[in-house]
Structure 1
Amino acid sequence: MPLEIIHDEEDLRFYVPLGDEEAEMTYSYTEDNVLDLDYTFVPETYRNQGIADQLVQAGLEFVKAKGFRFIPSCPVVEAYAQRHPEYQSLMD
């Protein structure tokens, strides 16, 4: 089920509220046009439902739309990029 992913550019994260909890993917800027996608978290109750993939996809679509590159520091992001070759050319 597609979720409404919220991009909080001030807090440098993509997140989705899940009841009293949140799932999130955080990032930082290492250079002007390079994002380090560094951390993904999904509460245990909500794991294995594709939420992490949706967060990563939202982040990578942001990278693509801005003409940026990304560093997959988070293993979840790295695994997603391996499974989706359309984003590999954006990897730094």
Structure 2
Amino acid sequence: MALSIQHQAQDQQFTTSQDGNSAELAYSRPSDGVIDFTHTFVEEDLRGQGIGEELAKTGLAYARDENLQVRTTCTFMRDYVAQHLEYQDLLEKN
């Protein structure tokens, strides 16, 4: 299954849908050079298929491409980044 994820910059989210169900990774831009991933939601029928992880990868790739520091207010994203060392360099420096 190829997952198509859209970046809806005007709504500050990454989204995907499949079989009438949807999933999203929402973010905010609290300051210049910072992206805060605030919320991840995957409808029940899509859970357990790795869709949250694909949304995370897409959002983090966007942050890297745009040279943004990452804040993870969303607990799913906080846990995902903590488990994937390749994203540690993106975390916001305090």
Instruction: Tell me the TM-score range normalised by the shorter chain.
Output: over 0.9
> Normalized against structure 2, the TM-score is what?
0.92
Extract unaligned runs of 5+ from structure 2: none
Aligned-CA RMSD value: 1.0
Cα deviation per residue 1:1-39 (whole Å; 9 max; x = unaligned)?
A: 441111001110000012222100000001011011000
Equivalent position SS for 2:11: coil
Percent sequence identity over aligned pairs: 34
Pairs aligned (count): 92
Q: Which residue of 1 aligns with 2:23?
A: 23
For the 8 Å contact 1:2–1:54, the answer to whether it is kept is no
- C-alpha deviation, 1:69, in angstroms: 0.6
Which ranges in structure 1 are unaligned for 5 or more consecutive residues?
none
Partner of 2:51: 51
- 2:84 & 2:2 partners in 1: Cα distance? 18
Letter paired with 1:83: Q
**What's the secondary structure of 1:4's corresponding residue?**
coil
